[in-house]
Amino acid sequence: MSTTYDQIEIEDMTFHPELEMFTYPCPCGDRFEILLDDMFDGIKLAVCPSCSLMIDVIFEVEDLAEYYEQAGIALPEGIAA
């Protein structure tokens, strides 16, 4: 059983529209990463590619609409504008 390092609100993360990815600083010096589409698919764990830490991202699917718009991507079915 794995545990998460912390719980982070989506608003506290940095969104990179060109990568369609959210990031958050990791204590190891790298950053936690999670893709927008993965979040839409129900994944809520952002992982650090340099260490074993993970964070639990707190969001609602409806929160993702503004990020799809920022990235210039059509909203998937299931998200209201």
Which two structure tokens, joined as six digits, stand for 68?
Answer: 């799809």
pLDDT tens profile 15-41: 999 999 999 999 999 999 999 999 999
In a domain, 81, yes or no: no
Query: Are the beta carbons of 44 and 60 closer than 8 angstroms?
Result: no
Domain count, the chain: 1
51: exposed, middle or buried (Cβ count in 10 Å: 0-12, 13-18, 19+): middle
Backbone angles phi, psi at 38, to 5 degrees: -65, -40
The radius of gyration of the chain from alpha carbons, rounded to an integer in Å, stands at 13
Residue that the structure tokens 């912390």 belong to: 6
Domain of residue 11, CATH code: 3.10.660.10
pLDDT tens profile 29-73: 999 999 999 999 999 999 999 998 999 999 999 999 999 999 999
Check: pTM over 0.95? Answer yes or no: no
